[in-house]
Chains A and B, each alone.
Chain A
Amino acid sequence: MHTTSLHIAFDVEQIRRHFPILNRLVKEKPLVYFDNAATSQKPIEVIEALSNYYKFYNANIHRGIHSLAEEATAAYEATRDTVQQFINAAHREEIIFTRGVTESINLVAYTWARTNLKAGDEIIITGMEHHSNIVPWQMIAEITGAKLKVIPVDDNGELIMEEFHKLLNEKTKLVSVVHASNSLGTINPVKEIIDASHKAGAMVMLDGAQSTVHLDIDVQELDCDFFAISSHKVYGPTGIGVLYGKKALLEAMPPFMGGGEMIKEVTFEKTTWNELPYKFEAGTPNIADTVAFKAAIDFLNKIGKKQIRHHEDELLQYATAELEAINGLRMIGKAKHKVSVASFIVEGVHPQDLGILLDNQGVAVRTGHHCTQPLMNRFGISGTVRASFAMYNTKDEIDVMIMALKKAIKLLR
């Protein structure tokens, strides 16, 4: 059978060669890196883009008229175009560079929410938010007198949507929701949330920290008002991220930080703001990491999210089955739709002890509350062990983790 698509077979061994860190040893054992939901490793393409920037065209952007400044500006702005296409934003100026999801959320909190919310207004979040999508709203609620409402989570780790629809009312001004949970992997029904919120006259912000690397993101189709991305979870460098916002909203919002780049004209009497996106990018930005972020997206696009998703789903299913076969182990988060996150606890064993002993076998997992303490309280636990998979992980690595786990449990019980 012939197919017309230019389908390149997904070859995990080939992919692994792009990630130099995967060759290293930890405690004399080959590294098994399952902490991808915290940060993903970087392909050589990204590492080289970063070092080439400093080697060949480091310059401050936008103002210079010399060649280096032009090259650096072009590379920086090329990332904006790439991100625009990556999430299918309607306009390039809707892409604001930030330090990451945390800053993106804070930007919306301190500009849009601070000017648009008043006492009695309501913000809806979910019971599975990362602290970064809880605390900024609490701070804004404190300032404005708005109230925070929380969509509860069921035993499987899914949002109780009937409760959401009940919470939504004319006082709701903003709904800020995690697209995919970092602790459980749950992919939330964001389209339903967005449509219902808009009907009620509320804006919607999505925390795309976990979803961007796994799911196809089309902000126009989603019709979300704001979307936040961290590059370092998408195979890119740390310290750079994106706030997507609908143009009309961004234009109406006051600036976040004052400084250079973000102004049109400054006098001591009055300063006028620069146009989008520069209004929100005060000071010399993180040029190098922004430039290298493009290399990450290009790499991801080249492999193809669809193929990666297929591979990661297989890993998740395999890991889940193997984990569930372990006596006394309980999966936390059994949603129907999940990104590749396997969170679990083992009866009578502290997650931290498991984390330390897995590290002894070269296996990097995350343990603890994953910055989602309210969610852990919901499940009546202090934390979990979390294994999260990326495009370069293999079934063999899962076998190593399962072996290490069994050994650890035997020792600890």
Chain B
Amino acid sequence: MTQIKTIQDTEEEIIDEFSLFDSWDEKYEYIIDMGKKLKPLEDEYKKEGNKIKGCQSTVWMVSEFKDGKVFYRAESDAVIVKGLVSMLIRVLSGHTPKEILDAKLEFIDKIGMKQHLAQTRSNGLLAMVKQMKLDASVYSAQQITKN
């Protein structure tokens, strides 16, 4: 059922959820809540090779390619980043490499979180998006060579 949902659909869904909030406090409260609810990554995955290092916080991410779709799991040592990461996973995970590579992820701007993608924040979120897309392009290339 959920598989029918496009990346665009999930983005719209998140934008709708955030439209209920009037203040920054409420937005961040919601993100923090999502961060706390993100299923922690097992310690075995929290190794150097899975690290996406920002200037201040660290994100660990793993991906898996199954039935033509990419599935992501991730964690961060900072809760707000974890919440943002959990939204990215919700939007991108379970889609084909092409869909992921084409995703513009405009929801981040629309919910007012664009600053977290700015270079100045250096918190690993921008690097995280890049890594998610990079993984997708690697799977996409593998698919082509297999065919």
Q: Point out residues on A near B: beta carbons under 8 Å.
A: 27, 350-353, 356-357, 360, 367-369, 382-383, 411-412
Contact = CB atoms under 8 A, between A and B. Distances in A.
A350 B56 CA distance: 9
B86 interface: no
B57 A350 contact: yes
Given A350-B79, A356-B80, A360-B24, A411 B29 contact: yes
Contacts of A411: 28-29, 32
Given A357-B28, A360-B28, A412-B32, A383 B79 contact: no
B78 interface: yes
B24 A352 contact: no
Contacts of B55: 368
B88 interface: no
Given A360-B24, A360-B25, A412-B32, 16 more contacts: A27-B24, A350-B78, A350-B79, A352-B57, A352-B78, A353-B32, A353-B78, A353-B79, A353-B80, A360-B28, A367-B56, A369-B56, A382-B77, A383-B56, A411-B28, A412-B79
Contacts of B24: 27, 360
Contact of A351 (B29, B56, B81): B56
B28 A350 contact: no
Contacts of B123: 352
B21 to A, nearest CB: 12
A353 B78 CA distance: 6
Q: Which range contains the number of B residues in contact with the other chain?
A: 10 to 19
Q: Which 7 A-B pairs have the closest CB atoms?
A: A350-B78, A352-B56, A368-B56, A352-B78, A360-B24, A352-B57, A353-B80
B56 to A, nearest CB: 4
A352 B122 CA distance: 11
Q: Is the interface of B mostly helix, strand, loop or mixed?
A: helix
A369 to B, nearest CB: 8
Interface of B: 24-25, 28-29, 32, 55-57, 77-81, 123
B56 A356 contact: no
A352 B81 contact: yes
Nearest to A368: B56
Contacts of A412: 32, 79
A357 B78 CA distance: 12
A350 B77 contact: yes
Contacts of A360: 24-25, 28
A350 to B, nearest CB: 4
B16 to A, nearest CB: 22
24 contacts: A350-B57, A350-B77, A350-B78, A350-B79, A352-B56, A352-B78, A352-B81, A352-B123, A353-B32, A353-B79, A353-B80, A356-B80, A357-B28, A357-B80, A360-B25, A360-B28, A368-B55, A368-B56, A369-B56, A383-B56, A411-B28, A411-B29, A411-B32, A412-B32
Nearest to B81: A352
Q: Which of A27, A350, A382 has the most CB of B within 10 A?
A: A350
Contacts of A27: 24
Contacts of B28: 356-357, 360, 411
Contacts of A352: 56-57, 78, 80-81, 123
Contacts of B80: 352-353, 356-357
B106 to A, nearest CB: 21
B26 to A, nearest CB: 10
A191 to B, nearest CB: 35
Contacts of A382: 56, 77
Nearest to A351: B56
A357 B24 CA distance: 9
B115 to A, nearest CB: 9
A365 to B, nearest CB: 13
Contacts of B78: 350, 352-353
Nearest to B83: A353
A357 B32 CA distance: 11
A356 B81 CA distance: 10
Nearest to B54: A352
Contacts of B79: 350, 353, 412
Contacts of A356: 28, 80
A293 B25 CA distance: 39
B27 to A, nearest CB: 9
A352 B120 CA distance: 13
Contacts of B56: 351-352, 367-369, 382-383
A350 B77 CA distance: 7
Contacts of B81: 352
Nearest to B77: A350
A380 to B, nearest CB: 14
A7 to B, nearest CB: 43
A169 to B, nearest CB: 38
A368 B78 CA distance: 12
A27 B25 CA distance: 10
B60 to A, nearest CB: 14
Q: Counting chain A CB atoms within 10 Å of each CB, which of B25, B78, B81 scores highest?
A: B78
B35 to A, nearest CB: 9
